[in-house]
């Protein structure tokens, strides 16, 4: 573990899966698991002191579900990223979790490479998920005038297209860096892309800007 490693907690009632993910994550320099929990209730009791950057959250937990837990955590700690752990990736439960504020998801049988790739994506503002689920979430974001992106997201996207850095975008729009990242994550989600280059390309191709 180094000083720049991302602090992760795992909330998963299956001991084998919990320990397997913990072992894989702790084998890296970028991430480390500081705590593991069998339930949301136990995790919520200590979240102020555990201070995770990312939470791996089982979608189906005894007691408070992962979806309910995500709503509570994102309301109280909006900067914490939540990666859902699920058995079936293309399910309505996954869709509900993402609408509740989860950043993305992985399946319980994910390989070492898939798990670390998902964590990397989240770290750089992406939202790991399948195209089908991304489409469902994107469609749910449409507002009455059929505009996909909000006005502020359009402002951020235009500056991205102009080649501005996250820091510059924050300064130009007079918002925090974390707010810029939040908007960019939503842009990626709504456009169903995973990178700055893809977002710019799609925005131009579909004449969004």
Answer yes or no: is 1 within a domain.
Answer: no
Q: Number of folded domains in the chain?
A: 2
Q: What angle, 0 to 180 degrees and rounded to 10, lies between the N-to-C axes of helices 196-205 and 177-191?
A: 50
Residue 156 has pLDDT above 80, yes or no: yes
Q: What pLDDT does residue 120 have?
A: 92
Q: What pLDDT does residue 57 have?
A: 96
Look at 80-84, 169-173, 196-200, 202-206 and tell me which has the smallest mean pLDDT.
Answer: 202-206
For residues 9-33, average pLDDT: 93
3-state secondary structure the chain: CCCCCEEEEEECCCHHHHHHHHHHHCCCCCEEEEEEECCHHHHHHHHHHHCCCEEEEECCCCCCCHHHHHHHHHHHCCCCEEEEEECCCCCHHHHHHHHCCCCEEEECCCCHHHHHHHHHHHHCCCCCCCHHHHHHHHHHCCCCCCCCCCHHHHHHHHHHHCCCCHHHHHHHHCCCHHHHHHHHHHHHHHHCCCCHHHHHHHHHHCCCC
Q: What pLDDT does residue 142 have?
A: 53
Residue 81's DSSP bridge partners are 54
State the residue range of the domain holding 153: 142-205
Last residue of a domain, one of 92, 115, 136: 136
Q: Long-range CB contacts (< 8 A, 24+ apart) of 193-196?
A: 194/121, 194/126, 194/127, 194/128, 195/126, 196/160
How many CB atoms neighbour CB 85 within 10 A?
A: 24
Place of tokens 């919520």: 44
For residues 171-193, average pLDDT: 88
Q: In the structure, what pLDDT confidence band is assigned to residue 64 with cuts at 50, 70 and 90?
A: very high
Q: What pLDDT does residue 202 have?
A: 85
- 84 with 147, same domain: the answer is no
d(CA 39, CA 46): 12
- 113 with 160, same domain: the answer is no
Last residue of a domain, one of 79, 102, 136: 136
- 128 with 152, same domain: the answer is no
pLDDT digits (tens, 9 = 90+) for 87-136: 877 677 888 888 889 999 988 888 889 899 999 999 988 888 877 777 77
- 120 with 33, same domain: the answer is yes
pLDDT digits (tens, 9 = 90+) for 2-16: 557 899 999 999 999
pTM confidence score: 0.66
- 151 with 177, same domain: the answer is yes
Domain containing 188 — which CATH number?
1.10.10.10
Residue 35's DSSP bridge partners are 9
Answer for the pair 104, 126: CB distance below 8 angstroms, yes or no: yes
- 93 with 31, same domain: the answer is yes
Last residue of a domain, one of 136, 151, 174: 136
Q: How many CA atoms lie within 13 A of 15 on its CB side?
A: 0
Q: What pLDDT does residue 124 have?
A: 87
Q: What pLDDT does residue 5 have?
A: 87
Per-range mean pLDDT, top range of 23-27, 134-138, 141-145, 186-190: 23-27
- 76 with 95, same domain: the answer is yes
């Amino acid at each position: 573990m180094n000083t720049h490693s991302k602090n992760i907690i795992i909330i998963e009632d299956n001991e084998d899966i919990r320990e397997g993910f913990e072992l894989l994550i702790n084998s890296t320099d970028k991430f480390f698991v500081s705590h593991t929990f069998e339930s949301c209730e136990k995790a919520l009791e200590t979240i102020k002191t555990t201070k995770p950057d990312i939470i791996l959250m089982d979608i189906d937990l005894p007691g408070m579900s992962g979806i309910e837990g995500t709503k509570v955590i994102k309301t109280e700690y909006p900067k914490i990223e939540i990666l859902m752990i699920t058995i079936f990736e293309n399910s309505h439960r996954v869709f509900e979790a993402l609408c509740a504020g989860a950043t993305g998801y992985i399946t319980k049988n994910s390989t070492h490479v898939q798990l670390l790739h998902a964590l990397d994506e989240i770290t750089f503002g992406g939202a790991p998920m399948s195209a089908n689920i991304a489409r469902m979430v994107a469609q749910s974001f449409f507002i009455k005038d059929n505009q996909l992106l909000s006005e502020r997201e359009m402002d951020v996207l235009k500056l991205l297209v102009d080649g501005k850095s996250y820091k510059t975008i924050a300064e130009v729009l007079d918002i925090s860096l974390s707010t810029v990242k939040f908007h960019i994550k939503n842009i990626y989600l709504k456009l169903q892309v995973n990178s700055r280059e893809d977002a710019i390309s799609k925005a131009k191709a579909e004449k969004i800007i």
